[in-house]
């Protein structure tokens, strides 16, 4: 991975690689409240659970969604993970991309590392062969980085060895006595970095006074403004990740909703538009009374889920149509339909004036299709029960 020339580029790394990984071929999926994996596995794997611990050997990529992840094994591929707490102790033959509240890495990694979190520690026994990109409120870098390091956060402490250049953007930046920077040290902060006399910097040191306040250690100083292509790519990557999760968890439901759009798109659009417009009004009226507040909060949660997944279902339907034109025979991949449809919608959203209309239309059609599938599924068991009663009578 080449050196990171500016702060915005690093925001794209994790989403771009997750996008590429998510659109890959088949993989094994396992879920449960507690997952303890050992042994040898020969295909890409996705794990979802409250507590996930991996101690085996995986010849492929690993994708994890959990509350707590502990990795003590060997992966001959990449690890992509999101959790509340992540501990990485094993060996990774490619790259690591993680997001969590607390991240502790004490591992040998042959590729790059991208980490998003509140507290991030790259422990002293860590050896990273390539680049490091860290975004956190508190970041401690004690390991050995084989190439460049890019650190963005509130409190940054460097105590390890960095073979390339070091770039830091933060509130409080410190280089401990054991710190070694083989290249240049470039940083931006309100105050000059605290550099120990025993720290070694072989290249140049350049300081730029920050114009915003990062002393609080929050995220406001390093989140890009909510406009332009940066956020478009972030939302695109997030939508595709959610779409992959939906396909894995409810493949049949996703297929039915996408087919509903293809066969009955006008009705789905009208129904979805009514739901999108009138649901907030109903929730506000419901929340007027104290008794109705819990119901309004529950309704708001459902409305938020519809907002997230409505556009995803519409994107999958669009992708299925496009792949259907190109491939008239054979099975159409939901994964590739998701990727193609979401990319096309992301481009259409950027059209001046009409982009917002397309956004609303995709949302409404997806919501309408999911609603139709939901009520039709409820109606089938009800009809079956009625038939059973008639037969017994």
The pLDDT assigned to 327 comes to 66
The CA distance from 163 to 84, in Å, is 31
The pLDDT assigned to 231 comes to 58
Instruction: Give every CB contact of residue 314 below 8 A, 6+ residues apart in sequence.
Output: 261, 341, 345, 362, 363, 365, 366, 369
Residue 24 phi/psi, 5-degree rounding, is -75, -175
The pLDDT assigned to 194 comes to 95
The pLDDT assigned to 332 comes to 78
Q: Could you give the maximum distance between any two Cα atoms of the chain, in Å? A: 92
DSSP 1: -
The pLDDT assigned to 84 comes to 80
DSSP 257: H
Per-residue pLDDT of the chain (393 residues; tens, 9 = 90+): 333 333 333 333 333 333 333 334 445 777 777 889 999 998 888 787 778 999 999 999 887 877 789 999 999 999 988 778 899 999 999 999 887 889 999 999 999 998 888 899 999 999 999 999 998 889 999 999 999 999 998 999 999 999 999 999 988 999 999 999 999 999 999 899 999 999 999 999 999 987 754 444 444 444 444 445 565 676 777 778 888 888 888 888 888 888 888 888 888 888 888 787 777 767 666 655 545 556 666 667 777 777 778 888 888 988 888 888 776 666 778 888 888 888 888 888 777 767 778 888 888 888 888 888 877 765 545 444 444 444 444
The pLDDT assigned to 385 comes to 45
Q: Which tokens sit at 66? A: 């959990």
- Report which secondary-structure segment, H or E, holds 99: strand 96-105
The pLDDT assigned to 210 comes to 79
The pLDDT assigned to 283 comes to 67
Secondary structure of 347-360 in HEC code, one letter for each residue: HHHCCCCHHHHHHH
The pTM assigned to this predicted structure is: 0.55
Instruction: Give every CB contact of residue 304 below 8 A, 6+ residues apart in sequence.
Output: none
Residue 332 phi/psi, 5-degree rounding, is -95, 130
pLDDT digits (tens, 9 = 90+) for 297-313: 666 777 777 777 888 88
Q: Which tokens sit at 381? A: 């068991």
The pLDDT assigned to 163 comes to 97
Query: Looking at the DSSP assignment, which residues form a beta bridge with residue 79?
Result: 62, 96
Q: Taking a C-beta distance cutoff of 8 angstroms, is the pair 254, 175 a contact?
A: no
């Amino acid at each position: 991975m080449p050196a990171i020339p500016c702060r915005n580029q690093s925001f794209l790394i994790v989403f771009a690689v997750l996008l590429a990984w998510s659109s890959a071929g088949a993989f094994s999926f396992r879920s449960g409240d507690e997952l303890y994996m050992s042994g040898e596995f020969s295909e890409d794997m996705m794990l979802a659970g409250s507590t996930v611990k991996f101690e085996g050997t995986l010849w492929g990529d690993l994708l994890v969604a959990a509350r707590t992840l502990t990795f003590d094994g060997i992966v001959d591929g990449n690890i992509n993970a999101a959790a509340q707490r992540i501990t990485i102790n094993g060996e990774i033959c490619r790259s690591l991309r993680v997001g969590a509240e607390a991240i502790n890495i004490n591992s040998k990694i042959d590729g790059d590392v991208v980490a998003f979190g509140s507290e991030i520690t790259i422990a002293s026994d860590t050896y990273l062969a390539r680049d490091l990109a860290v975004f956190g409120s508190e970041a401690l870098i004690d390991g050995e980085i084989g190439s460049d390091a890019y650190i963005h956060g509130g409190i940054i402490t460097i105590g390890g060895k960095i073979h390339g250049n070091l770039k830091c953007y933060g509130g409080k930046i410190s280089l401990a006595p054991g710190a070694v920077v083989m290249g240049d040290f470039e940083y931006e902060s309100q105050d000059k970095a605290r550099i120990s006399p025993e720290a070694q910097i072989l290249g140049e040191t350049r300081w730029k006074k920050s114009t915003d306040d990062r002393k609080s250690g929050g995220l406001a100083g390093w989140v890009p403004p909510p406009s332009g292509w940066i956020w478009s790519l972030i939302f695109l990557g997030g939508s595709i990740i959610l779409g992959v999760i939906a396909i894995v968890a409810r493949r049949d439901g996703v297929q039915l909703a996408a087919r509903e759009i293809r066969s009955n798109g006008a009705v789905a659009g009208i129904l979805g538009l009514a739901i999108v417009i009138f649901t907030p009004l109903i929730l506000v009226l419901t929340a007027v009374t104290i008794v109705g507040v819990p119901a309004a909060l529950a309704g708001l949660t459902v409305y938020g889920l519809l907002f997230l997944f409505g556009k995803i279902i519409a994107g999958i339907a669009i992708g299925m149509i496009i792949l259907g034109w190109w491939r008239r025979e054979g099975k159409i991949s939901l994964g590739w339909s998701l990727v193609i449809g979401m990319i096309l919608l992301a481009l259409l959203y950027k059209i001046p004036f009409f982009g917002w209309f397309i956004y609303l239309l995709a949302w409404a059609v997806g919501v309408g299709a999911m609603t139709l599938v939901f009520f039709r599924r409820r109606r089938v068991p009800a009809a079956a029960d009625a038939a059973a009663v008639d037969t017994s009578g």
